[in-house]
Amino acid sequence: MSFKRKILAAGIALALAAPLSVQAADSAELAQIREQIRQMKESYESRIQSLEKRLQQAEGTAGNALNKAGKAEEMAVQAASAPVASPSASAAAFNPEVSLILSGTYANLSQDPANYRIAGFMPNGGEIGPGARGFNLGESELVVAANIDPYLRGQFTLAVTPEDTVAVEEAFVQSLGLGNGLTVKGGRFLSGVGYLNEQHAHTWDFVDAPLAYQAFFGGQFKDEGVQLKWLAPTDTFVELGAEVGRGRNFPASDRARNGFGSATLFAHLGGDVGVSHSWRAGLSMLRTSPRDRAYSTTDNLGAIVENGFSGNSRLEIADFVWKWAPNGNPGYTNFKLQGEVFRLHEDGDLTYGVNAANITGRYASAQSGGYLQGVYQFMPRWRVGLRRDQLDGGSVDFASNNAVLGQAAYNPSKNSLMFDYSPSEFSRFRLQFSQDKSRPEVTDNQMLLQYQMSLGAHGAHKY
C-alpha cells in the first residue's frame, strides 16, 4: 500500500473512533449524575422521615402539656373557691405599721392637784386637772395598724397612763374602697363629734385638753360601736357621719342591756380660700340615756356622798378651724385659729346619797362652754400659742335636793400660753404657763414642761 493510502486509512479510522469515545464519556457522566441524584433522594427521604418523627413527638408533648395545664387551671379554680384562712400563707407577709409615742411632763402647781375640781359641773370621773406635781410619765401610746385585705384595715392603740394603768384606747376595723364615698368603722374608737375629740393627745397644741372637754367628756369621748361616714363628691369638703354605741363613757353610762346607749350625728364642711388659706366648720350632736350614772361630791353639809342620775343627755357642739400658710407652704411660717362651743342639756331623776339617804328628785340642767386658741409658727420648728377656756354654769335645778346639793352659779375659766420647739417631725419640747380658775376664789398657777417622741411608722395627722 502506498504511503498516501496509509495516511488516508488512518484518517478514516480516527474519524470513526471519535464518536465512539465521546459516547462512552457521556455514558459515564450520566451514570455518575444518576448516582448522585439517587443518593440525594435517599438523604432527603431520611431527613423527611426524621422530621416527621420529631413532629409526632412534639405533638405528643404539646398534648401532655395541655392536659397538665387544664388540670392546673382546675386546681386553681378549686383553690380560689375555697375559704381563705389568712391574708397570706407566709407569716413574713404580715408587716404592720408599728409606732410608739413617748411623753412625759414636769409640773409646778400652786394648788394641790388632789383638790382639783370644776365647780358647778357634775363630776365625771374622767381625766381632768393638770396631773400630779413634779416629774411624771405622760400618756404613752403603742399603735399597731395594717391593711387586713383589700377591703378592711385594722388599728390597735394601747395607752399607758401616768398611774401605770394599761387601757385599750382604740381597737377597730375600717372599710377600704367601699365606694360612693362611704366608710364604715366598727369597734372601739374616738368619736367623730367636734374637732379635737377624734385626735390623739400627742397631736394637741397644748399639754392638756380644754376645760370644755374635761367638763363635758372627762377628757375625750370614745365608745364601742359602729360609725358610718359619707364624703360627698364635691369640690367643697362635705362629710356627714353617724354613730351608735354601747354608751359606756360619760356623759353616758354602761347600762348592761341590749341595744345602744349613745348616738351621734355630725357634719363637717371645709375648703380653700385662695392658695394660702383653708378652713373647716362642723356641727355635732351626742345623745345618751344614762342609767344610775354615779358620781361622788361634797354636799352642802360637808359630807362626801354618792349620787346617781338617770335620764336623758344631749350635747351639741359647733367647731371651726382656720389655717394660714403662705402660698400653701407651712414649712417656714403658719397660723391656726381653732375654737369649739359646747351646750349640754340633761333632765331626769337624781338620787341623793344612794348608799345612805337615798332621796330621789327631779334634775334638770343647761350648761355651756368652749375655748378659742391660736397657734403661730413664727420660724421653722418654733411655735407660740394662746388659749382661752370659758365655761358657763348656766342653770342647774336639783328640785327637792336643792337644799343639800344646790350651789351658787360659777363660771370656771383658764388662760394658757405655750411655746414649743420641734427638732424634727418626730420630737417636740413644750413649755406651758396656765392660770386656772376652775374653783371659786382659787387660782392655780401652773407651769408645765413636756416632751413628746414618736418612734416608728406614724400616719399623717388629721386636718
Q: pLDDT tens digit string along 72-118?
A: 444 444 444 444 444 444 444 567 899 999 999 999 999 999 999 99
Mean pLDDT of the chain: 84
Question: What pairing do the DSSP bridges indicate for beta strands 382-397 and 359-379?
Answer: antiparallel
User: What average pLDDT does the segment 281-292 reach?
Assistant: 95
Per-residue pLDDT averaged across 25-47, rounded?
61
265-279 pLDDT tens trace: 999 999 999 999 999
| Higher pLDDT among residues 430 and 331, named by residue | 430
pLDDT tens per residue, range 333-378: 999 999 999 999 999 999 988 777 788 889 999 999 999 999 999 9
SS3 content of the chain, % helix, strand, coil (to 5): 25, 50, 30
Residue 12 is predicted with a pLDDT of: 44
Per-residue pLDDT reduced to its tens digit, 186-225: 999 999 999 999 999 999 999 999 999 999 999 999 999 9
Whole-angstrom Cα Rg for the chain: 44
- Provide the pLDDT confidence category of residue 125 given band limits of 50, 70 and 90: confident
Taking alpha carbons only, the member of 143, 194, 149 closest to residue 169 is 143
Check residue 57 and give its pLDDT.
62
DSSP assignment string, 378-401: EETTEEEEEEEEEEEEEEEE-GGG
Tell me the whole-structure pTM to 2 decimals. Answer: 0.78
**Cell numbers that stand for 69 in this block:** 395545664
